[in-house]
Amino acid sequence: MKTYRKELWFNAPARRAFINITPEIENCLKESGIKEGLVLVNAMHITASVFINDDESGLHHDFDVWLEKLAPHEPVSQYRHNVGEDNADAHLKRQIMGREVVVAITDGKLDFGPWEQIFYGEFDGRRRKRVLVKIIGE
Ligand code: ZN
């Protein structure tokens, strides 16, 4: 069995962002040389997510509005976590959008359903943060 590990770095210029990282994951897959197996992609920070959904800007806007309704950033004083920091909402948003995805690899390709793409979801940006890519297979 072959294994492959890589860390991808991101620095979103805004507090919140959704970034399609599918091309980066496809590059990792090529680099790994693995044709049959599994790829795990996870955020290495507890205020960011990795998830799979449609690459459609209206939907991304809808996610952002929905998450702000569930866990508004302001007022920051509403959260007990915000003693000396202001990112409690980012922890909550990450929890609902998830930590990681696992995708099957078939014939050297990500074996997606229709319209599936992999996204990095940033909820407390403006600093360098990492995503882990781990691939196992043959
Ligand atoms: Zn925090």
Domain ranges of the chain: 2-55+97-137
Q: Please, which pLDDT band fits residue 44 given cuts at 50, 70 and 90? A: very high
**Residues 2-41 pLDDT 10s:** 999 999 999 999 999 999 999 999 999 999 999 999 999 9
- Residue 130's pLDDT is 98
- Residue 91's pLDDT is 98
For residue 134 the two structure tokens come to 């781990």
For residue 51 the two structure tokens come to 């998830």
- Compute the average pLDDT of residues 42-51: 98
- Residue 82's pLDDT is 97
CA of 88 to the centre of ligand 1 (A): 5
CA of 90 to the centre of ligand 1 (A): 8
36 and 137 in contact (C-beta within 8 Å)?
Answer: yes
- Residue 30's pLDDT is 98
- Residue 71's pLDDT is 98
**pTM of this prediction?**
0.96
Please name which of 23, 79, 18 lies closest in space to residue 51, comparing C-alpha atoms.
18
DSSP state for residue 99 in the 8-state scheme? S
**Residues 71-119 pLDDT 10s:** 999 999 999 999 999 999 999 999 999 999 999 999 999 999 999 999 9
Q: Please give the CATH topology (third level) of the domain spanning 2-55+97-137.
A: Jelly Rolls (2.60.120)
CA of 35 to the centre of ligand 1 (A): 39
- Which of helix, strand or coil describes residue 38? strand
